[in-house]
């Protein structure tokens, strides 16, 4: 047995378990908060960025299995949160987090999860769990952490089966801002970290369906003066700010459900103005719906930082970060709207644009830097469209 494996071997009975709705049980060792949660279980293939992933509002209603085993080794810090608190309901890892070793670390992952009421489960065969998700689709689960190792499996199974899933759920209302605010913080840069934008910029209204902070930073770095509005903002409220462009953010849940109020707003702006518009992730799906397209639930979605996406116009392949369980049906796009990007993993749609106006969107997260800057041009393209 290797030293790494020996350090992870624990005596005594398990203190955490994962019960899938089909009756499959995985046992492990809990860290972070105690208790029981129910969620849709997905897997993420990223090797870094676990703090950003756990705080990405797009993960509302989900628990995350990390396929990379060394999660927690770089600790946590105050700068890497994408929103105020973790949104994902739990995390599942192969090995328990070790003591952090990174110059930016300000604490341990276990303590960070405990303080924020999120469960962690280590000591799990994440390869087997990932195969189950891949073959069967994202399962509904109940996850429990009890330091005494006492579990009512029948109750947990019932809890997993009671979970309604994400289809039909509007989760954007749960993670959006309560009121409008200005954003001027720019991307992190060595050696000073984050800086504030002080010069005038293009006036952009960003609709917050669950916006990640680094998306707003990228807009500010591209020369935008950003005002963020809640997901339920009306076209009248958007236009009252006299924007030069409108941005549609990422977010969680079923796009068709959020579209009940978001799509009419987007349609009204498209019908009554010629403003440039840019959408990411859920914002991409909202734009597609507003233009007459359709969305569909994926088997297990795309979650990771190694997704190759091809841009049709240039033939360029970008390595991107993705996090979505729904996708735009490219076959449903009407005349005047064309596909711009496609996933090289499965051929699913990753971008659209209107052929006669500066209105476009992408499924991937261009702010997340896995390439590391393959997709930053999209923010520059949006800024240039407002010139």
Cα gap 34→146, rounded to integer Å: 6
Measured between its terminal Cα atoms, the distance across the chain in Å is 62
Residues 322 and 363 sit within 8 Å (Cβ to Cβ): yes
CA distances from 49 to 234, 321, 364 (A): 34, 11, 16
Question: CB atoms < 10 A from the CB of 132, how many?
Answer: 20
Cα gap 176→291, rounded to integer Å: 23
The question of whether 281 is a catalytic residue gets the answer yes
Give one DSSP letter per residue of 60-96, joined into a string: TTEEEEESSS--STT-B-TT--SSSS--SSEEE-SS-
Residues 18 and 65 sit within 8 Å (Cβ to Cβ): no
What does the angle CA 365 – CA 302 – CA 140 come to, to the nearest 5 degrees?
A: 125
Q: Is 309 exposed, middle or buried (0-12, 13-18, 19+ CB in 10 A)?
A: buried
Nearest to 120 by CA among 48, 226, 47, 18: 18
Question: Which listed residue (17, 42, 218, 281) is catalytic?
Answer: 281
The question of whether 79 is a catalytic residue gets the answer no
Give one DSSP letter per residue of 318-346, joined into a string: EEEEEEEEEEEEGGG--TTEEEEEEETTT
Cα gap 287→307, rounded to integer Å: 22
Residues 65 and 44 sit within 8 Å (Cβ to Cβ): yes
Residues 29 and 93 sit within 8 Å (Cβ to Cβ): no
Question: Which listed residue (40, 311, 318, 367) is catalytic?
Answer: 367
Beta carbons within 8 Å of 323's beta carbon, 6+ residues apart: 44, 53, 56, 58, 59, 250, 281, 301, 302, 303, 365
The question of whether 367 is a catalytic residue gets the answer yes
Q: Tell me which residues are annotated as active site.
A: 281, 365, 367
């Amino acid at each position: 047995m290797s030293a790494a494996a020996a350090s992870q071997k624990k005596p005594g009975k398990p203190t955490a378990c994962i019960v899938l709705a089909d009756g499959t049980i995985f046992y492990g060792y809990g860290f972070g908060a105690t208790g029981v949660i129910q969620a849709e279980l997905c897997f993420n293939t990223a090797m870094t960025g676990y703090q950003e992933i756990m705080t990405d509002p797009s993960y509302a209603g989900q628990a995350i299995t990390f396929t990379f085993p060394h999660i927690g080794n770089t600790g946590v810090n105050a700068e890497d949160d994408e929103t105020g608190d973790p949104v994902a309901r739990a995390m599942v890892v192969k090995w328990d987090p070790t003591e952090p070793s990174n110059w930016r670390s300000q604490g341990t992952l276990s303590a960070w999860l405990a303080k924020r009421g999120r469960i962690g489960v280590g000591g799990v065969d994440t390869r087997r769990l990932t195969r189950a998700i891949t073959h069967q689709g994202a399962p509904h689960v109940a996850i429990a952490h009890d330091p005494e190792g006492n579990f009512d499996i029948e109750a947990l199974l019932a809890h997993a089966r009671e979970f309604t899933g994400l289809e039909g759920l509007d989760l954007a209302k749960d993670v959006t801002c309560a009121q409008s605010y200005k954003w001027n913080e720019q991307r992190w840069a060595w050696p000073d970290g984050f800086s504030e934008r002080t010069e005038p910029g293009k006036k952009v209204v960003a609709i917050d369906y669950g916006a990640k902070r680094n998306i707003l930073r990228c807009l500010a770095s591209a020369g935008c003066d950003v005002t963020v509005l809640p997901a339920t903002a009306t076209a009248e409220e958007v236009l009252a700010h006299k924007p030069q462009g409108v941005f549609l953010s990422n977010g969680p849940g079923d796009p068709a459900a959020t579209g009940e109020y978001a799509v009419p707003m987007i349609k009204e702006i498209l019908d009554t103005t010629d403003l440039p518009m840019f959408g990411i992730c859920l914002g991409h799906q909202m734009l597609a719906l507003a233009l007459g397209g359709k969305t569909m639930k994926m088997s297990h979605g795309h979650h990771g930082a190694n997704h190759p996406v091809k841009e049709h116009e240039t033939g360029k392949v970008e390595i991107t970060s993705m996090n979505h369980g729904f996708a735009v049906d490219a076959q449903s796009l009407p005349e005047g709207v064309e596909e711009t990007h496609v996933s090289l993993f499965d051929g699913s749609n990753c971008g659209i644009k209107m052929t006669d106006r500066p209105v476009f969107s992408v499924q991937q997260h261009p702010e997340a830097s896995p390439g590391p800057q393959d997709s930053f041009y999209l923010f520059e393209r949006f800024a240039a469209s407002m010139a």
